[in-house]
Amino acid sequence: MTELLYQTDSYLKEFEAVIQRTDSERGAVVLDRTAFYPGGGGQPCDLGVLRMGGSEFRVEKAKKEGEDVLHFLPVGSVLPESGAAAQGSLDWERRYQLMRTHTALHVLCGTVFRDYGAQVTGGDMEPLKGRMDFEFERMQAGLVHEIEAAVNREIAQVRSLKIQILPREQAFQIPDLIRTKINLLPEGIQFVRTVEIEGLDLQADGGTHVRNTSEVGRVRVVDYKSKGAINKRIYIEVV
Ligand SMILES: [Zn+2]
């Protein structure tokens, strides 16, 4: 089982850990704790390096499997022994761009729900670019600038983000969470991590975010697409 350090500290760039096991067939290492985000909820996994046994290995991918996070090293890497110490460093520039982008998408989501009542059905991102799908029948080209202006007004409000890990029953009593389809969470999950942009948006979310909307930068709504009469996709860039 890997302790997920990024869940409580998304600004952690370097960490010490112990190798729990290795998967030589796949060239992967499982650590007792990690700051590497393993991907999920539309946010890609982190990249970076692991230093182990006097050598440095590139982490080309991280992935969650059950309770473990697997760190995939380059093909042909000679893996160290279980029980050995490891030191991890994230590709921080990329991760921080993803944090800004992920928070920008939550600002978009909160703004579009407040102003138009449209709910999110999905999303995806890469550093400084993202898209979000809404049930948003009224979306049309004329709204692009209105939405962009509203999103940037919210960012300029210097809103704090609050991360909480709540017992399932408590989380299920928050009306805003029910709106964002918390009921899709698997039965077995006992705790729900919530990400709140104070005064704007509250979601069940496992991703990494900035502390304050002032760190996001400026958002441009670059495009939108109809995916049918009701479903619309909005594309943003963060600059
Ligand atoms: Zn999210």
Position 19 scores a pLDDT of 98
Specify whether the CB–CB gap between 7 and 52 falls below 8 A: no
Residue 45 carries which DSSP code?
P
Cα of 106 vs centre of ligand 1, distance in Å, is 6
Q: What integer pLDDT is reported at residue 182 of this predicted model?
A: 58
**Which pLDDT belongs to residue 180?**
62
What are the tokens at 83? 């029980």
HEC letters along 108-121: HHHHHHHHHCCEEE
pTM: 0.95
Structure tokens at 177: 């969470």
For 100-113, write each residue's pLDDT tens digit: 999 999 999 999 99
pLDDT value for 176:
75
* Bridge partners (DSSP) listed for residue 180: none
Tell me what the mean pLDDT of segment 165-193 comes to: 80
Q: How far is the CA of 44 from the centre of ligand 1 (A)?
A: 11
**How far away, in angstroms, is 116 Cα from ligand 1 center?**
20
**CA 6 / ligand 1 centre spacing (Å):** 14
Distance 126 CA to ligand 1 centre (A): 13
Q: Among residues 123, 86, 108, which one has the least CA distance to residue 154?
A: 108
**pLDDT in the model for residue 146:** 97
Rounded to the nearest angstrom, the distance between the alpha carbon of 151 and the centre of ligand 1 is 16
Interval between CA 182 and ligand 1 midpoint (Å):
12
The token pair that represents 61 in the structure block? 């991918």
pLDDT tens-place string over residues 112-144: 999 999 999 889 999 999 999 999 999 999 999
Task: Burial-class residue 75 by CB neighbours within 10 Å (0-12, 13-18, 19+).
Answer: exposed
Q: Tell me how far the alpha carbon of residue 76 lies from the centroid of ligand 1, in angstroms.
A: 35
pLDDT of 183 reads 61
Say which amino acid occupies 226. S
The per-residue pLDDT for 179 is 64
| CA of residue 201 to ligand 1 center, whole Å | 11
96 CA → ligand 1 middle, Å: 15
Q: What's the DSSP call for residue 31?
A: E
Q: Ligand 1 centre and the CA of 131: distance in Å? A: 12
- On whether the CB atoms of residues 224 and 26 are closer than 8 A, the answer is no
41 Cα to the center of ligand 1, angstroms: 6
Q: How far is the CA of 54 from the centre of ligand 1 (A)?
A: 37
Q: If you measure from the C-alpha of residue 177 to the centroid of ligand 1, how many angstroms do you get, rounded to a whole number?
A: 12
